Chain A
Amino acid sequence: MQTASELERLYHAHGAALVLFGTSFASDRGIAQDAVQQVFLRLIQEGNLAHVRDPKAYLFASVRNQLLNDSKLRSRSVELTLDSAWFEPPERDYAAEQNLKHALRVLSEDQRQVVVLHIWGELTFSQIAEVLEISANTAASRYRYGIEKLRELMCAKEAI
Chain B
Amino acid sequence: MQSSPDEFEKYLKQFRPIAAKDLAIQPAAQSKPRFHFWWAWAFSGATLLIAVAVLLKFEGRPAIDPAITEVPNSSALTVRRANAELSTGYSPKQALDRLAFPLKPQLPEGQQSALNVLGQEKTKL
Do A and B come from the same complex?
yes
Which of B1, B25, B31 touches A158 (beta carbons < 8 Å)? B1
A4-B30, A119-B9, A151-B1 known; A89 and B20 CB under 8 Å? no
Q: Which of B1-48 contact A (CB under 8 A)?
A: 1-2, 5, 8-9, 12-21, 23-28, 30-31
Contact A11 B20 (CB under 8 A): yes
A8 proximal to B (CB < 8 A): yes
Separation of A97 and B14 alpha carbons in the complex (Å): 11
A129 proximal to B (CB < 8 A): no
In the complex, the number of residue pairs spanning A and B with C-beta atoms less than 8 Å apart equals: 80
Note all chain A residues with C-beta closer than 8 A to B14.
89-90
Separation of A80 and B23 alpha carbons in the complex (Å): 24
A100 to chain B, nearest CB (A): 6
A79 to chain B, nearest CB (A): 20
Contact B15 A89 (CB under 8 A): yes
A4-B28, A100-B12 known; A20 and B23 CB under 8 Å? no
Stretch of A34-42, A50-58, A67-75, A131-139 lying at the B interface = A34-42
A8-B28, A147-B5, A148-B5 known; A41 and B23 CB under 8 Å? yes
B90-120 to A contact mask, C-beta < 8 Å, 1/0: 0000000000000000000000000000000
B124 to chain A, nearest CB (A): 100
Interface residues of B (CB under 8 A from A): 1-2, 5, 8-9, 12-21, 23-28, 30-31
